[in-house]
Amino acid sequence: DAGVIQSPRHEVTEMGQEVTLRCKPISGHNSLFWYRQTMMRGLELLIYFNNNVPIDDSGMPEDRFSAKMPNASFSTLKIQPSEPRDSAVYFCASSLFQGVRPPLHFGNGTRLTVT
């Protein structure tokens, strides 16, 4: 079974550049979550979607971050402009929501370094 697929695995960019992270959830899953992980703050929820609709984006740090889910099989997280403090591992996770929140299946993550 194909799991959650994220790309790229690693991204190194300079401050001020636009960064786009991509995620393909598990086929049939209808919930998609974006998390960010750092040593200092642990795993932080940025945004989650149900049926391609953003439900809660209160964790998105600021207007520089945006996320879209144009269809059930694809989502993007964009940072524009990027800053060094955005350096982290970004995880995408998906699940099949049927009334009660089930556990999430995580992708391998994208390790972002902003210099």
Partner 1 sequence: RKEVEQDPGPFNVPEGATVAFNCTYSNSASQSFFWYRQDCRKEPKLLMSVYSSGNEDGRFTAQLNRASQYISLLIRDSKLSDSATYLCVVNRGSNQGGKLIFGQGTELSVKP
- Residues that bind partner 1 in the complex, under the rule CB under 8 A: 31, 33, 35, 42-43, 45, 48, 50, 55-56, 91, 97, 99-109
Pick between residue 50 and residue 73 the one whose CB is nearest to partner 1.
50
State in angstroms the smallest separation of the CB of 48 from partner 1: 6
Minimum distance from residue 45 beta carbon to partner 1 (Å): 5
On the 0-12 / 13-18 / 19+ scale of CB atoms within 10 A, 88 is buried
Identify which of residues 81 and 111 has a Cβ nearer to partner 1 in the complex: 111
Sequence-distant (6+) residues with CB within 8 A of 57 are: 46, 47, 67
Minimal distance, residue 106 CB to partner 1, in Å: 4
Burial profile 72-87: b = 16 or more Cβ within 10 angstroms, e = fewer = bbebebebeebeeebb
